[in-house]
Chains A and B, each alone.
Chain A
Amino acid sequence: MSEPLIPTAQKPISNRRDSLVMLSRVANSLYWMSRYIERSENVARLLDVNLQLMLDFADFDDDQLEKHWLPILCSAGNEKTFFQLYEKADSESVTEFLTFREENPNSIISCLFSARENARQVRDQISLEMFETLNECYLFLKSSNAREVWQTGAHEFYEQIKKYSHLFQGLTGSTFTRNEGYEFINLGKFLERADKTSRILDLKYHILLPSVADVGGAVDAAQWQAILRSASALEAYRRFHVEDILPKKVAEFLIFSPTFPRSIRACMQHLDEDLHRLSGKERREYKSPEERAFGKLLSDMNFMTIEEILDTGLHQFLQLVQTTLDQLDDHIYREYMHHPPVDTQAEILLHQQQMQQQQ
């Protein structure tokens, strides 16, 4: 017996009869709807930027191409599935895989189909405008038109995908009631965004570790610029640092900026506030070991410098960020969304017992 006969012992029974209660299943759908949309936008931007970057490196041979695209593939996961479908990683195969392949659960099309399926599950909770936007996006991707747009101009296609996400997030801000559901939408968005920013920055560690001769050269600069653009951060960075694009400064900006809304720290700050609003705990109190680990990392980041991170290793630090976020995701699921599955046999037994006792 893995589940107790009366699995509700671990969950309190409330007598609330107000309109603010939220089904666990609904919380789960709102969270994933939001994560998938944010993910699709990030994948779209990453691909768009790198396709454009490749225009400047038209003389790359197969080997160099693979060296460029493989880490991008790995950062999005599912490289195993990729090699079942394609022989080699190049611009065409990787972008197709990450855009249209339904075999890949993290492709843009899979993300947006899942987002829309989740939205359908909570059709009664979200605004008509939010649903219509997502549904329009779904209908666009389902139509043959989508692939035509992509083939004739990938940039326009990715622009369109990003616009759906921006529109959706804007409408969420302007039409969704600030209730518990809003916290789950935000948790999904900021957790995904922090994770993606860390992965984009980590790309440089994988691919872009150039030979010593390249450091500071044209290739290096172009690549760092691509990193910034992948996080939608180029202009923000320039306003902040009126000088050349320096690797250290880029890493610092994307990790620490308290004001740029896609930096890891800014996203984690939002997460921290949402977590507290949900749990009702005081500001520096945390509900579980996972939340505490998250709080500790955020707190450390308030005192750390980029030099310290680079000394111990940027990659190691980014991995710590990703692990902490993964564990936080687990915690959110267990705490708010998971109820032990109903064991029908046990339930039947229980009700038969209860009915006998009444005789």
Chain B
Amino acid sequence: MLLDNYETEDFFDEMFTERGGGVRPHYQRVADRLQLLDSGEHRRKQTAVDLAFMRGGVTFTVYNDDQGTERIFPFDLVPRVIPDTEWQRIEKGLIQRITALNLFLHDIYHDQKILKDRIIPPHYILGAKHFRREFMGFNVPKDIYVHVCGTDLIRDRDGNYLVLEDNLRCPSGASYMLENRAALKRAFPDLYRNARVQPVDNYAADLRKVLQYVSPPSLGSAQPNVVLMTPGVFNSAYFEHAFLARQMGIPIVEGRDLVVRDARVYMRTTSGLVPVDVIYRRIDDDFLDPTVFRPDSLLGVPGLVHAYRSGNVSLANSIGTGVADDKVVYYFVPKIIKYYLGEEPILPNVDTFLASEPQDRGFILENLGKLVVKSANEAGGYGMLMGPWASKEEIESFREQILANPRNFIAQHPISLSRHPTWCNTETGGRFEGRHVDLRPYILYGEKITVTPGGLTRVALRKGSLVVNSSQGGGSKDTWVLHSDS
């Protein structure tokens, strides 16, 4: 059968215990179903799923010629399964983390106690690329800074969950979590029905409630006009923007649809200007308003920040959350949790070295060939050195960059991410092989904090690759959180 010759090798495997060992109890149903599968049936199911994605426009556009080619985000049919108890711990850890980070953001934009108490050296925060000093003393509605968060989790060799990144600005991928679930239900209806999986369908409704909850206080109890602001149809995540807007039943707007008058935001409609109260913006701080941030931004709305400061419109996420995405600040998150909550972190960080600390820097420079080096403010797998797989030139180039601007770099030991059985096409049909995965759960912060059970499991489809980003050969899986532990 298709799983018979599966090799876990020297990795933590999500489905199997040690090499040649048995199936983990929470994967038993999935494994049984896969054993019944042959490559012909697999191909038919995969084709049906891919076609449905293509037809429904569940795609991103690759602009390698002037035409633009539509690609689907590759979807692997084998679901990733998480037992209930394990998930409860993850959920607690995520809630703990977002609570602490939100308190941290409030503090650094107000009294800066954490800096005064020397928990974090002030220059790291005040000099951070995404620290918005313009918003010192500004009160955001309901004191919520991070409304939507997509934390990247990985598992190490022993299966421990670690936080890799927090993503507190505009995390994407929630639409794929929802579309993947729909696709999997169509592909394996019987398996799904019997597996007792916790639903993810509430995500859009929960998000809408969060957005309504943070409407400007001046609006009183009136129903707010909520919109989703997109950079436009040519953005690679446009599908997601349109998808979420449809699911929430709110208009999707571009900067050119909005105009600010007397510190109020309006949209330009067929019946004139109509007020906008809450904006779920999928566009970076820098581009929001050309009168405040980048003057060359054509995506933003002149006056938007003024309207926001005047309390007439709410933004999700708030301006200035990017400072906590800084990988140097990431280093301090365990201390942040301890400082504000007096608790030990439930989900630990990956051990991190700061190039700006002389002692760490020496260690990093001596061990460049063994470490993963990351730029403090890049995302999507860019600005990274994977030491063990890098060429001499790449290593030397990073050495120079680190010496020139140590504040901009951190380093970590490479983590051998957990692996998951994943379909791989071969000349004779195909088979299951282990591929590395991560997990991005979505956390919503409104009246209460909600973590959608599951999230987006991304998988590095290339053999041996640790990079799961869609721009670099990554695919995704449906993620199941069971109602029980098996």
Contact = CB atoms under 8 A, between A and B. Distances in A.
A21 B271 contact: yes
A131 B56 contact: yes
B291 A351 contact: yes
Contacts of B74: none
For B222, B273, B275, the residue with the greatest tally of chain A CB atoms inside 10 Å of its CB is: B273
A339 B268 contact: yes
A144 interface: no
Given A12-B272, A25-B256, 16 more contacts: A11-B273, A13-B266, A13-B273, A14-B272, A15-B275, A16-B274, A17-B224, A17-B277, A22-B271, A23-B253, A123-B239, A123-B242, A124-B252, A344-B298, A348-B291, A352-B291
Contact of B269 (A24, A120, A123, A348): A24
B270 A128 contact: no
A19 interface: yes
Given A123-B57, A124-B242, A21 B233 contact: no
Contact of B271 (A14, A131, A337): A14
Given A123-B242, A132-B56, A351-B302, A23 B267 contact: yes
A98 interface: no
A44 interface: no
Interface of A: 6, 8, 11-17, 19, 21-27, 117, 120-121, 123-124, 128, 131-132, 135-136, 139, 180, 336-337, 339, 342, 344, 347-348, 350-352, 354-355
B388 interface: no
A46 to B, nearest CB: 28
A120 B270 contact: no
A334 to B, nearest CB: 12
Interface in B156-195: none
Contacts of A117: 233
Contacts of B338: none
B261 A8 contact: yes
Contact of A8 (B252, B259, B263): B259
A21 B267 contact: yes
A226 B225 CA distance: 53
B223 interface: yes
A contact face: mostly helix, strand, loop, or mixed = helix
A264 B272 CA distance: 32
A237 B423 CA distance: 59
Contacts of A354: 262-263, 303, 306
Interface in B258-307: 259-263, 266-275, 277, 290-291, 298, 302-303, 306
A17 B261 contact: no
Contact of B306 (A22, A24, A128, A355): A355
A3 to B, nearest CB: 13
A8 B267 CA distance: 11
B84 interface: no
A347 B272 contact: no
A120 B233 CA distance: 7
B249 to A, nearest CB: 7
A121 B256 CA distance: 13
19 contacts: A8-B259, A8-B261, A12-B272, A17-B223, A19-B249, A21-B270, A21-B271, A23-B251, A23-B269, A24-B257, A25-B256, A123-B242, A124-B246, A124-B252, A135-B54, A347-B291, A347-B303, A354-B262, A354-B303
A135 B51 CA distance: 12
Given A14-B273, A21-B267, A132-B56, A120 B238 contact: yes
Interface in B294-334: 298, 302-303, 306
B55 interface: yes
Nearest to B260: A351
A259 B277 CA distance: 48
Contacts of B243: 123
4 A-B pairs closest in CB distance: A123-B242, A347-B302, A124-B245, A12-B272
A78 to B, nearest CB: 21
B91 interface: no
A351 B260 CA distance: 9
Contacts of A180: 270
A342 B266 CA distance: 13
A230 B251 CA distance: 39
A135 B56 contact: yes
Given A21-B251, A120-B233, A136-B55, A337 B275 contact: no
A344 B301 CA distance: 9
Contacts of A11: 268, 272-273
B272 to A, nearest CB: 4
Nearest to B264: A13
A207 B407 CA distance: 76
B248 to A, nearest CB: 9
Nearest to B238: A120
B14 interface: no
B254 interface: yes
Contacts of B271: 12, 14, 16, 21-22
A124 B273 CA distance: 20
B266 A25 contact: no
Contact of A344 (B223, B225, B270, B290): B290
A6 B55 contact: no
